[in-house]
């Protein structure tokens, strides 16, 4: 799955909502805090981590590639 963002970055919990992997911001924060999110192959536990174009986020069997709007 590819998610295109307009700004320089998107906070991780917002990205999870945008990709429909979380039902709400609170749900997204729980997913992150439980260590279920991988950022570029490493576990990411910061809910507000700044995700930039070119990065890859993985939650279970779903991989998100973040791209910039051109």
Mean pLDDT of all residues in 16-28: 95
pLDDT exceeds cutoff 90 at 27: yes
Spatial separation of the C-alpha atoms in residues 2 and 66, rounded to whole Å: 6
9 Cβ contact partners less than 8 Å away, ≥ 6 residues apart = 50, 51, 52
| Tens digit of each residue's pLDDT (9 = 90 or more) over 38-70 | 999 999 999 999 999 999 999 999 999 999 987
Instruction: Please give the mean pLDDT across all residues of the chain.
Output: 96
What is the structure's pLDDT at 70? 77
Q: What domains sit in the chain, N to C, each tagged with a CATH number? A: 2-68 (3.10.290.10)
Spatial separation of the C-alpha atoms in residues 16 and 10, rounded to whole Å: 10
């Amino acid at each position: 799955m590819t998610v295109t963002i307009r700004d320089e970055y998107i906070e991780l919990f917002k990205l999870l909502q945008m990709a429909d992997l979380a039902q709400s911001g609170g749900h997204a924060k729980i997913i992150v805090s439980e260590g279920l999110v991988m950022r570029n192959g490493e576990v990411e536990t910061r809910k507000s981590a700044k995700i930039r174009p070119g990065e890859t986020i993985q939650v279970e069997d779903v991989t998100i590639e973040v791209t910039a709007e051109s």
